Structure 1
Amino acid sequence: MKSIVAVTRAEGYDYPALRSSIYGLISTLGGWGRYVSPGERVLIKPNLLSARPPERGVTTHPSVVRAVAESLLDFGATVAVGDSPGGADKGVERVFRNTGMLEVAEKLGIGWVNFESSGTRVIPGDNGITLYITKAIERFDHIVSISKLKTHSLMLYTGAVKNLFGLAPGFRKTAYHKLYPLPTEFGKMLLAIYKHASVTLHFMDAIVGMEGNGPSSGDLRDVGLLLASADGIALDRVASHIIGIEEGRVITTRLADKKGLGNGKLENITVIGGELHDFVLDKPFKLPARLPERIIPSWLVKKLARFIWIRPAPLEEKCTRCGVCAKHCPVDAITMRGEKLPYYDYDKCITCLCCNELCPENAIAFEKSWLAKRLGR
């Protein structure tokens, strides 16, 4: 059976127009009555990567969350917003406040859920490894995900599937980066979470996306779209196609299609709201620096590791020595040295790029070996 992905244009975050676009998108999919019953409890899961304000384009815009939440409230559902954001060690409420989510919750009179204090639920991972996600989802009848369209330095692209990584509470995410350092391994872990989350409906904020070295230090790009689907794999395939990523390059989409977790090929997807080719950008997204693991097979990368590498490095002119990078490194490869730049032990570094994702100053750049530069051309 073909999956349905609804797409609509939305030129900005002005609330009245955006609200109309969201309500129209839901109507195109048949209305909330196809997915939710009045009185049921719905958890909205946005992308709250870090405590950045909405205009930085790093997180799901609060106006999109507000419109989706308001539509559910109008339908008669009970709604709350929750995530396990990056930098939660400094306070989850701080992240919710800085990203505008706390204001949305207060304005609508809905709750916000702290995944860090909700306990964990065990799910099976790949190769018999146990994974843990927040137990908070057990208090809800439905999860509605609202991802942000961005490139991703490790996974190439982040959308519906990657957004659910936020269901892993606190430093579990750090541990999973250590357990699954290569993109394919990490992708399998993401799909295990995706499978067990059983999201009812996926939305994507693609009004302003991020290209280049996303998910936090790339360049903002006006896209002017909103997407929604019950199939997150299909949504990711359509969104990645719109920004110019060829079929098969997004690891989670490719693996999920093979596993039958969703439809990852365009021939098995019906786009409603317009013709797909009309939504495709004239100029494709600029993609992140390519890790060796995405260029050649992982077994060969391991043999050539001395000669092919892309690694994070702090920028003198931007680094404030705040220590976020060192605090969140899953393998303790970064040492703070007072007023000096953070020291990276590259023998320990697993290139998970958590430091790049969470740096509040976008002060982590990428160094490439000569051979990596040649392969990345």
Structure 2
Amino acid sequence: MEKPSVSAHAVPVALARCEGYDRRSLDQLVGEVLDAARIAQECSLKVGTKVLVKPNLLMSKSLACTSPGVVAAACRWLRDHGAQMAVADSPGFGRARSVARAIGLESALRPLGLDVRELDSPVPVTLPLPPGSRSAHSGKGGTRFHVARAVHECDFILSLPRVKAHGQMLLTLAVKNCFGCVSGLHKAVAHAREGRDPAYFADCLAALWAVLPPVAALADGGVAMHVTGPSGGKPFVLHLMGASASAVALDEALYAVFGLAPEAVPLGAALVRRKAQGSAASGTEVTFPLLRPENFDARGFELPRELSHTSFHPARFVQSCLRRVIAAVKK
């Protein structure tokens, strides 16, 4: 089953220059791109709409995560539109609350009366993989991901990725950020199991996007991560903030910023194969109400020269498990 369209007309992708991360600048900039992307209209945002705000809280390292100021600015914008918000993630290492505290997100959200929740209470979901993509890793019942219950209960997701290079998937942007909707250790298991075949893993991520509620996105590219990633890269000042009601359309615009076709990125290619709504392959028309991809200078942004295996190394898998157990005990 394909994801329903948030709009039958052209999808706006709003790109703007991000000159700094102070609160006043971010409130103005985030409001500008969310308004220009027509998020309220495209996502039918009204009083009482349940929005899952999904930052990237990979680990307790600031550059590996979405900037706290961007998350808070997005939440203020949503509050002003009457939304009911939950800010949540399932980090690769540690617990959401401890990561949020370490990077300053907890204090950034406190004035809004919001805390950061763990995406837990998993519900198994069979992935709608395209014909021919199933591998030896699939069981008789098909490939399943365990998606947090809160994800199923929201009206739409606002994916808030930091723009980062990725040593396994080349780039990690708005759609890849949705992998955090898979709960806790189930995510590590899925990474270790489905990640043994990179193309298959990309197909799984695209299929996960397809079963989620509509995914809008706000990408934090003021300071991006390059060379490698998603955690060990270096900062790159890209001066970009972008938003769209379609995470797929925003990702394709960001590929263009780096001079890449969607097919050059494993997840982009998987979305092209399934003609995901929001992609150029689906015939979606995209408009740029503010700046265009060619208005940004990404010269010097280094992508990984070779992509590593997408499966977690056993030692890394055990490390992730131990960190979660320790964090749970301390809680």
TM-score norm. by structure 1 comes to 0.72
Task: List per-residue Cα deviations over 1:47-71 (Å, max 9, x = no partner).
Answer: 011112x3xx110001000001001
Quick check: 1:228 aligned with 2:236?
no
- Which aligned runs of 4 or more in structure 1 are off by greater than 4 angstroms? none
The match for 1:327 is: 318
The match for 1:51 is: 60
Quick check: 1:187 aligned with 2:205?
no
Task: List per-residue Cα deviations over 1:109-144 (Å, max 9, x = no partner).
Answer: 12432213x332423353321221111123322211
Residue aligned with 1:171, SS: helix
Quick check: 1:105 aligned with 2:109?
yes
* Whole-Å separation in 2 of the counterparts to 1:104 and 1:204: 18
Select 1:124's aligned residue among 112, 124, 127: 127
Select 1:275's aligned residue among 284, 292, 315: 292
- Does the Cα contact within 8 Å between 1:213 and 1:289 map onto a contact in 2? no
Select 1:92's aligned residue among 85, 89, 96: 96
Change (3 A) 1:115 1:247: closer
Change (3 A) 1:151 1:76: same
* Whole-Å separation in 2 of the counterparts to 1:196 and 1:286: 33
Residue aligned with 2:64, SS: coil
Q: How do 1:99-248 and structure 2 match up within 5 A? A: 99-116=103-120, 118-124=121-127, 126=129, 127=134, 128-180=142-194, 181-248=196-263
Q: How do 1:355-370 and structure 2 match up within 5 A? A: none
Aligned-residue offset at 1:211 = 0.7
Aligned-residue offset at 1:31 = 5.4
* Whole-Å separation in 2 of the counterparts to 1:27 and 1:92: 29
- Does the Cα contact within 8 Å between 2:161 and 2:220 map onto a contact in 1? yes
Aligned-residue offset at 1:78 = 1.5
The match for 1:369 is: none
- Bigger Cα displacement from structure 2, 184-193 vs 30-39: 30-39
Select 1:62's aligned residue among 68, 73, 77: 68
Aligned-residue offset at 1:223 = 0.6
Residue aligned with 2:208, SS: helix
* Whole-Å separation in 2 of the counterparts to 1:147 and 1:21: 16
* Whole-Å separation in 2 of the counterparts to 1:327 and 1:262: 37
* Whole-Å separation in 2 of the counterparts to 1:16 and 1:292: 40
- Bigger Cα displacement from structure 2, 132-141 vs 210-219: 132-141
Aligned-residue offset at 1:200 = 4.1
* Whole-Å separation in 2 of the counterparts to 1:329 and 1:92: 13
Task: Report the count of equivalent residues.
Answer: 298
Residue aligned with 2:264, SS: coil
- Does the Cα contact within 8 Å between 1:243 and 1:284 map onto a contact in 2? no
- Bigger Cα displacement from structure 2, 103-112 vs 223-232: 103-112
Aligned-residue offset at 1:284 = 4.6
Select 1:39's aligned residue among 45, 48, 51: 48
Aligned-residue offset at 1:275 = 3.3
Q: Which has the higher contact order (CA 8 A, sep 6+)?
A: 2
The match for 2:26 is: 18
Aligned-residue offset at 1:279 = 2.1
What amino acid does structure 2 have at the position aligned with 1:87? Answer: F
Question: Unaligned regions of 5+ residues in structure 2, if any?
Answer: 1-8, 135-141, 323-331
TM-score norm. by structure 2 comes to 0.82
Change (3 A) 1:260 1:26: same
Task: List per-residue Cα deviations over 1:177-216 (Å, max 9, x = no partner).
Answer: 2222232111011112111112342110011001111111
Q: Percent identity?
A: 28
Change (3 A) 1:8 1:247: same
* Whole-Å separation in 1 of the counterparts to 2:158 and 2:168: 25
Larger Rg: 1
CA-based RMSD of the aligned residues comes to 2.6
* Whole-Å separation in 2 of the counterparts to 1:98 and 1:164: 22
